[in-house]
């Protein structure tokens, strides 16, 4: 879902960069309080994993692929501020090293794949704090779908305001085309988020929630 | 470093390298959801001035000196994953409060 170079008008990419920049500044300011010796390695490997997972495009509809975003999953496992920092790092590497996404569009890409899904992930995060079983699963799945569809809608809105959609294409039709594809991608994002969140919480619940190691039960890694 | 943290690093890095270095080779090469939408809406041509990073070592997710193919893609997946890992670990260490609680075990 990376917006390429030349699709956003200067007011739009500057505005998006300002919002993402403010969110990141806030995240960096509070990050110290949320980091301990267990969260730093978890944050590092989750960042590497999300970068890798984003490379795996899966078929969605005929002639169309999709890939995971990961910001929502990181919001659950790390909380919104750390998730935003990790997603920004990934998106900066993708733009600067792999020409994935325009450099001027970085703020917008961080907004739709980092800031927004991280906030939704944070909202779901607390459901995993207590053993809530199926409720946490369902909320995580739906949250993953919502994170992708909302991000996709935001992309279309930014393209529309940037005058990067032909005049003949109505805004609602554009949102419809974009959101239909991303609904399917969102289903995969939601399911993958449930699976990975379950696994990481099984093996490193102490690192995710900063609980004392003494409360851990079994499980290697 | 605790055993738990070391194991987390090992498991996480292996998972990232397998996914980014191997699985990604078998990824769909169809345009992604946004690209396809832009094509379908006849909106695939940029209308503004944009900036794209120069392909110094990598051309998209291929190592330039290896052309295309499995090893080129694997190099991109491995390099990108390790680069993100390194950046995030350094950031995390720098941001971590020195008086933050540390696990006892």
B81 contacts A52? CB cut-off 8 A: yes
**Which residue carries 């987390």 as its tokens?**
B8
**Residues of A with CB below 8 A from B50's CB?**
4-8, 102-105
B30, B61, B103 ranked by CB distance to A213: nearest: B103
Q: Determine whether the interchain pair B51/A64 forms a contact, defined as Cβ–Cβ distance below 8 Å.
A: no
Torsion of CA A116, A142, A90, A8, to 10 degrees: -50
The mean pLDDT value for B40-51 works out to: 96
Q: What domains are there in chain A, each with its CATH number?
A: 10-210 (1.10.1760.20)
Q: Tally A–B CB contacts below 8 A.
A: 274
* Residue extents of the structural domains in chain B: 1-26+68-100
CA distance A169 to A156: 12
Contact state of B12 with A41 under an 8 Å Cβ cutoff? yes
In this prediction, residue A215 carries a pLDDT of 46
Closest residue in chain B to residue A160, using alpha carbons only: B43
Determine the 3-state secondary structure of A186 from DSSP: helix
pLDDT digits (tens), chain A, 221 positions: 999 999 999 999 999 999 999 999 999 999 999 999 999 999 999 999 999 999 999 999 999 999 999 999 999 999 999 999 999 999 999 999 999 999 999 999 999 999 999 999 999 999 998 876 799 999 999 999 999 999 999 999 999 999 999 999 999 999 999 999 999 999 999 999 999 999 999 999 999 998 765 444 444 44
ipTM: 0.93
Query: In angstroms, rounded to a whole number, what is the distance separating the alpha carbons of residues A104 and A8?
Result: 8
Q: Do B5 and A100 touch (CB under 8 A)?
A: no
**How many angstroms away from the CA of B67 is the closest CA of chain A?**
14
Burial B1-26 (b: 16+ CB within 10 A, else e): ebebbeebbebbbebbbebbbbebbe
Angle made by CA atoms B6, A41, B8, in degrees to the nearest 5? 40
Coil vs helix vs strand at A58: strand
**In the numeric block, which tokens belong to residue A17?**
């960069």
Q: What is the pTM of this model?
A: 0.94
Rounded distance between C-alpha atoms, residue A171 and residue A77, angstroms: 35
pLDDT score at B98 = 67
């Amino acid at each position: 879902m990376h917006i390429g170079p030349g699709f956003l008008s200067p007011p739009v990419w500057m505005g998006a960069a300002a919002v993402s920049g403010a969110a990141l500044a806030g995240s960096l300011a509070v990050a110290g309080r949320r980091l301990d010796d267990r969260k730093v390695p978890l944050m590092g490997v989750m960042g590497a994993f999300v970068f890798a997972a984003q490379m795996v495009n899966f078929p969605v509809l005929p002639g169309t692929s999709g890939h995971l975003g990961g910001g929502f999953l990181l919001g659950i496992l790390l909380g919104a501020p750390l998730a935003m920092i990790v997603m920004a790092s990934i998106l900066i590497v993708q733009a600067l090293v792999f020409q994935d996404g325009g450099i001027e569009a970085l703020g917008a890409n961080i907004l739709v794949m980092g800031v927004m899904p991280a906030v939704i992930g944070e909202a779901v995060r607390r459901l995993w704090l207590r053993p809530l079983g199926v409720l946490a699963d369902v909320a995580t799945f739906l949250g993953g779908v919502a994170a992708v569809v909302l991000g996709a809608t935001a992309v279309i809105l930014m393209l529309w305001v940037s005058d990067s959609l032909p005049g003949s294409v109505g805004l609602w039709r554009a949102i419809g085309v974009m959101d239909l594809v991303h609904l399917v991608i969102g289903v995969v994002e939601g399911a993958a988020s449930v699976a990975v969140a379950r696994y990481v919480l099984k093996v490193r619940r102490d690192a995710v929630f900063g609980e004392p190691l003494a409360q851990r039960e079994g499980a290697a890694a | 470093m605790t055993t738990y943290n070391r194991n987390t690093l090992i498991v996480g890095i292996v998972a990232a390298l397998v996914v980014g270095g191997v699985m990604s080779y078998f990824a769909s090469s169809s345009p992604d959801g946004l690209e396809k939408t832009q094509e379908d809406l006849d909106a695939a041509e940029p209308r503004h001035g944009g900036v794209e990073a120069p392909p110094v070592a990598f051309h998209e997710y291929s190592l330039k000196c290896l052309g295309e193919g499995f090893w080129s893609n694997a190099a991109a997946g491995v390099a990108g994953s390790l680069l993100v890992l390194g950046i995030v670990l350094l950031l995390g260490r720098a941001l971590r409060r020195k008086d933050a609680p540390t696990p006892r075990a």
